[in-house]
Structure 1
Amino acid sequence: MKHQALMFLTTLLALSLNGYGQQPPVGGPCEGCEAIHESPVPFDKLASFVKLPDATWAGKKPLGINGIVYKADGKTPAPNVILYVYHTDEAGQYVAKKDATGWERRHGSLRGWMRTNEKGEYKFVTPRPAPYPSRTDPAHIHITVKEPGLTEYYIDEFVFDDDPLLTADHRRKLANRGGSGILKLKDVGNMYKAERPIYLGRNIPNYPAAQ
């Protein structure tokens, strides 16, 4: 019996060392990335489109941001990828609801989750965020990615090409994780639209070689 128990423990250890039963950590440190797991809808029930709170066509025009998520080869659409986005309000603040729990208290209530469809497509509509008050950082939208079989990781924030705070120096320092996050907005009448393709694994530390 003791021999069988020892063999069982040895097998479990071997599986663990070979990476079975756990997700490979990729992307390096990522404070707050675990917020992706706070989705109020199960991952497999998420749609590829989400309208974030406060997005409205009354008053200021909202943003419609869409794109295709590609696998690491840069050309194959990637379905069933979870995306989590959050950003400041029009005053540059992360404002949470009074009953907020978890990471919503830090990220604010302007946040949402999507799952890419069979064509790798995603889309969200949201108010345009403002930069932090009294700071030089350009306005931005944070994004976290969760691929099937891998741990979540962050990619470059969505930033705006027409933002005066997005200086040449800031552009040079962008890591282009997941590809460029610079958005060129197009006024289509009732809203602004922009596209961003996302490339899984691009400039992501510790990303598996074959995906």
Structure 2
Amino acid sequence: MKNQVCTLLVVLLLVALKAHAQDKQVGGPCEGCEAIHESPVPFDKLDMLAKLPDATWTGKKPLGINGIVYKADGKTPAPNVILYVYHTDETGHYVAKKGATGWERRHGSLRGWMRTNEKGEYKFVTLRPAPYPGYSDPAHIHVTIKEPGLTEYYIDEFVFDDDPLLTPAKRQKLDNRGGSGILKLIDAGNMYKAERHIYLGRNIPNYPVHP
């Protein structure tokens, strides 16, 4: 029985790798983007809402980020798009839980996966990350995208409009991959909220004209 289970897992892995190999290469080099495939839930079972491990209302005000993912035309909602996000903790470190494997050891355990619904909507709840200690990089949330038929690629990080480290010079250097990632936070009382719409293919190298 154990051998049969192992054989089945190998077959499923080979099928997934074959399907991935047939995806069109887009976005250019992307170290760590393959972490999107470490989702503990199969892509087709993911929800549009992800609650990251640090999300809490106990003595803190969490951050809820939501938006709509649009197709390359900029107006048609894109369903079944996978988003993978990860970020530092409140001290600016990527901290992985004990026994972490794969990319979790580098990305830390504050990460999550979502799949856009039929309206292209996504949402995740977490705590606001801190910038790297001793560095001038603004606090940020990394995000990777996986569309049907295309390889995964990164888009501009979520950054915060009120972050003093997000200087005018740094704003000008943003690539706007997928559109602007600058978040304007709204204090909703028991939490902070922000919205970012994502535009597939925008400023993405090798993106097909008709995906």
In the other structure, the counterpart of 1:201 is 201
In structure 1, the gaps of 5 or more residues are 1-20
Q: In structure 2, how many angstroms separate the alpha carbons of the residues matched to 1:47 and 1:32? A: 23
In the other structure, the counterpart of 1:36 is 36
- Spell out structure 1 runs of 4+ moving beyond 6 A: none
Letter in 1 for 2:82: I
Q: In structure 1, how many angstroms separate the alpha carbons of the residues matched to 2:112 and 2:99? A: 17
Q: CA deviation at 1:54?
A: 1.4
In the other structure, the counterpart of 1:88 is 88
Q: CA deviation at 1:205?
A: 0.3
In the other structure, the counterpart of 2:77 is 77
SS of the residue corresponding to residue 106 of structure 2 reads helix
Q: CA deviation at 1:75?
A: 0.1
Q: CA deviation at 1:64?
A: 0.3
Q: CA deviation at 1:60?
A: 2.1
In the other structure, the counterpart of 2:188 is 188
In the other structure, the counterpart of 1:10 is none
Once the two structures are superposed, what CA deviation does each residue of 1:133-162 show, in whole Å capped at 9, x if it has no partner?
A: 000000000000000010000000000000
In the other structure, the counterpart of 1:125 is 125
In structure 2, the gaps of 5 or more residues are 1-20
SS of the residue corresponding to residue 44 of structure 1 reads helix
TM-score by length of 2: 0.90
In the other structure, the counterpart of 2:68 is 68
SS of the residue corresponding to residue 172 of structure 2 reads helix
Letter in 2 for 1:146: K
In the other structure, the counterpart of 2:110 is 110
Q: CA deviation at 1:43?
A: 0.1
In the other structure, the counterpart of 2:160 is 160
Q: CA deviation at 1:22?
A: 1.1
Q: In structure 2, how many angstroms separate the alpha carbons of the residues matched to 1:89 and 1:198? A: 24
SS of the residue corresponding to residue 118 of structure 2 reads coil
Q: In structure 2, how many angstroms separate the alpha carbons of the residues matched to 1:206 and 1:60? A: 42
Q: In structure 2, how many angstroms separate the alpha carbons of the residues matched to 1:140 and 1:80? A: 25
Superposed counterparts of 1:140-179, under 5 Å:
140-179=140-179
Aligned CA RMSD, in angstroms, stands at 0.6
Q: In structure 2, how many angstroms separate the alpha carbons of the residues matched to 1:89 and 1:60? A: 13
In the other structure, the counterpart of 2:22 is 22
Q: In structure 2, how many angstroms separate the alpha carbons of the residues matched to 1:187 and 1:73? A: 32
Letter in 1 for 2:79: P
Q: In structure 1, how many angstroms separate the alpha carbons of the residues matched to 2:54 and 2:181? A: 23
Q: In structure 2, how many angstroms separate the alpha carbons of the residues matched to 1:60 and 1:150? A: 38
Q: In structure 2, how many angstroms separate the alpha carbons of the residues matched to 1:22 and 1:98? A: 35
Letter in 2 for 1:175: D
Q: In structure 1, how many angstroms separate the alpha carbons of the residues matched to 2:63 and 2:206? A: 33
Q: In structure 2, how many angstroms separate the alpha carbons of the residues matched to 1:193 and 1:130? A: 17
Q: In structure 1, how many angstroms separate the alpha carbons of the residues matched to 2:25 and 2:59? A: 43
Letter in 2 for 1:110: L
Q: In structure 2, how many angstroms separate the alpha carbons of the residues matched to 1:29 and 1:188? A: 38
Q: CA deviation at 1:209?
A: 1.1
SS of the residue corresponding to residue 210 of structure 1 reads coil
